[in-house]
């Protein structure tokens, strides 16, 4: 996963968040990993940020396009409120959706398929 992201991944950034991604219809369900470095803070802080991002992604984007995603955060992310993280994540995912093909849209629901 990480080798492919490093070689062929595209990048999107918004506020304190960044994402390296590869859109691939053969990778279902989408695979998401989080890169929260030690510079963000102690383990408790990093884990809280990772849980917040995971929750936001599941709630706001339940039909993420198939592919690989590595989501990371700058140290300033630890100080952001939940609504500020939501804003940054929505902006970043909008940028990713512009890279998607016209048939793959983050806001549309897949036809006759379910996401486990």
**CATH code of the domain in which 53 resides:** 3.30.230.10
Q: Has residue 108 been placed in a domain?
A: no
Kindly state the average pLDDT of the residues 64-71. Answer: 91
pTM over 0.85: no
Judge whether residue 104 has pLDDT over 50.
no
DSSP string, 44-75: HHHHHHHHHHHHHHHHH-TTPPSEEEEEEE-G
The arithmetic mean of pLDDT across residues 4-17, rounded, is 89
pLDDT category of residue 70 using cuts at 50, 70 and 90: very high
Indicate whether 81 belongs to any domain: yes
Q: What is the pLDDT of residue 3?
A: 83
Inside any domain, residue 32 = yes
In a domain, 114, yes or no: no
- What total of structural domains would you count in the chain? 1
Cα distances (Å, whole numbers) of residue 65 to 71, 83, 101, 103: 15, 23, 10, 10
Report angle CA 16, 108, 30 to the nearest 5 degrees: 60
Q: Which domain holds residue 9?
A: 2-99
Is residue 109 situated within a structural domain? Answer: no
Over 60: is that where the pLDDT of 108 sits? no
Please report whether residue 113 resides in a domain: no
């Amino acid at each position: 996963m990480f080798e492919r992201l490093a070689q062929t991944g595209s990048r999107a950034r918004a506020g304190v968040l960044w994402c390296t991604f590869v859109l691939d219809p053969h990778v279902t369900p989408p695979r998401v990993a989080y890169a929260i470095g030690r510079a963000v803070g102690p383990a408790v802080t990093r884990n809280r940020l990772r849980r917040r991002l995971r929750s936001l992604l599941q709630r706001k984007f339940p039909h993420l396009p198939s592919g690989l995603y590595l989501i990371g955060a700058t140290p300033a992310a630890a100080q952001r409120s939940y609504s500020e993280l939501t804003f940054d994540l929505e902006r970043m995912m909008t940028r990713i959706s512009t890279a998607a093909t016209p048939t793959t849209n983050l806001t549309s629901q897949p036809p006759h398929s379910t996401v486990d």
